[in-house]
Amino acid sequence: MQLPRAVREAYVRAERCLAAGRFAEASGLIAALLAHDPDPDLGRLRDLLETIVEEAAEPGAQVSLATLLLDPAGEEADPERALALLLEAADAIEGRDEPDPGLAGVAHGLIADCYLRGVGAGADPAAAFQHYRRAAELGNGRAAFAAGLACESGLLDQAVDRAEAKRYYRMAADAGDVRAMTALALLYLADGDAPDEVTIVDLLEEASAKGDSRAAETLSRLGDEVVLRPAGDESDSEPE
31-43 tens-digit pLDDT: 999 999 989 999 9
Q: What is the domain partition of the chain in residue ranges? A: 1-56
Residues 141-200 have pLDDT tens digits of 999 999 999 999 999 999 999 999 999 999 999 999 999 999 999 999 999 899 877 889
Q: What is the pLDDT of residues 191-234, one digit of tens each?
A: 989 987 788 999 999 999 999 999 999 999 887 544 444 444 44
With a pLDDT cut of 70, the percent of the chain lying above it is 92
List Cα–Cα distances, 152 to 38, 116, 164, 200, 214, in angstroms.
36, 17, 8, 17, 17
Q: Average pLDDT for residues 34-57, to the nearest whole number?
A: 94
Interval 59-71: pLDDT, tens: 999 999 999 999 9
Q: For residues 91-112, give the mean pLDDT.
A: 95
For residue 87, pLDDT beyond 90: yes
136 residue type, one letter: A
The DSSP code sequence of the chain is -PPPHHHHHHHHHHHHHHHTT-HHHHHHHHHHHHHH-SS--HHHHHHHHHHHHHHH--HHHHHHHHHHHT-TTSTT--HHHHHHHHHHHHHHHHTSSS--HHHHHHHHHHHHHHHHHT-SS---HHHHHHHHHHHHHTT-HHHHHHHHHHHHHT-TTPPP-HHHHHHHHHHHHHTT-HHHHHHHHHHHHHHT---TT--HHHHHHHHHHTT-HHHHHHHHHH-S------TT--TTSPP-
Side-chain half-sphere exposure of 10, counting CA atoms within 13 A: 19
How many other C-beta atoms can be found within 10 angstroms of the C-beta atom of residue 209? Answer: 11
